[in-house]
Amino acid sequence: MPVFQELPLLGTERINRAYLRISVMAPELAEKCRPGMFFELKAGLPSQTRRLFKPISVFEASEGKISFLIKVVGPGTRALAELKPGEPLLLLGPLGNSFHLVKGQNALLVSGGIGYPPLAWLKRVLEPHNRVILVHGGSCAEDLFPCDRGYTLDGSSGDRGLVTQDIMDIIKTENIDIVYSCGPLPMLKALQACVGDLPHYASLEAYMACGLGACHGCAVPVGEGWQRVCKDGPVFAASLIRWEEL
Ligand code: FES
């Protein structure tokens, strides 16, 4: 059972105006992390006491260090961004399941916006045993991170357009065997419509209250029933998701 921990922030690395990477040293927790898992995070400052925790995917866990990519979108993430090294970070996790790992495959990873971190880490984990292509898209140049093919809606970096626009071509020309994804719902829906019968593992984003499987506030239609993104996911076999009900 994951427990809340308070750890001193190890460091902050500003990526650009909107994004930064924060990290903590937590060898025991890092050992349990797998690509796809997430933590509930909150700045451990008196001003944040009444604020809800934010579910944030693990960007990387290695050599005892866990890092997260934060996009500043409101007061909670701004407080995380303004934490100084040594100030307290409250964490609960690692939570959720992780991506199914394969060997000897041509894997296509597709991410949108802040869906990038789990797939960037998954790429590094899959690469020794597979051929991996990471395709990433965002609104503008600030949303673009290192990848094999990038797209922005405004054309300020990479190709102009949606990250899903060339997927059918990529699947065919690169002989793709398996697809992994994380990003906004419209992107995931469009992607699932492109992949046909290929195995596709999608990490879903959802509003979360408890983050522990207790409130059912994050339930999504999967198979014959409903499953909780925080506890049964966030990674699901995309073929089992009833996309039309989302
Ligand atoms: Fe409460 Fe998922 S957030 S069950």
The CATH number of 3-95, from 2.40.30.10, 3.40.50.2300, 3.10.620.30, 3.50.50.60, is 2.40.30.10
Q: Where in the chain is the domain with CATH 2.40.30.10?
A: 3-95
Instruction: For the chain, give the mean pLDDT.
Output: 94
User: Does domain 106-245 correspond to CATH entry 3.40.50.80?
Assistant: yes
Q: Where in the chain is the domain with CATH 3.40.50.80?
A: 106-245
* Dist. CA 85 → ligand 1 center (Å): 31
Return all residues near 97 (Cβ < 8 A) that are at least 6 apart: 36, 37, 232, 233, 234, 235
Residues 135-165: tens digit of each pLDDT? 999 999 999 999 999 999 999 999 999 999 9
Cis amide linkage into residue 35, ω under 30° from 0? no
* Model pTM score: 0.94
Angle at 125 between CA 136 and CA 23, to 5 degrees: 80
Residue 150 near residue 136, CB atoms below 8 Å? yes
Question: What order of strands is seen across the sheet that includes strand 200-203?
Answer: 159-160, 149-152, 131-138, 106-112, 178-182, 200-203, 235-237
Atom of ligand 1 minimally distant from the CA of 228: 2
* Dist. CA 229 → ligand 1 center (Å): 7
* Dist. CA 240 → ligand 1 center (Å): 20
Residue 37 near residue 12, CB atoms below 8 Å? no
* Dist. CA 15 → ligand 1 center (Å): 31
Residues 211-234: tens digit of each pLDDT? 888 988 999 999 999 999 999 999
* Dist. CA 232 → ligand 1 center (Å): 10
Which of 218, 220, 222, 236 has most ligand 1 atoms within 8 Å of its beta carbon, as the pocket-test mutant?
218
Which of 38, 210, 227 has most ligand 1 atoms within 8 Å of its beta carbon, as the pocket-test mutant?
210
Cβ < 6 A, ligand 1 pocket: 208-211, 213-218, 228, 230-231
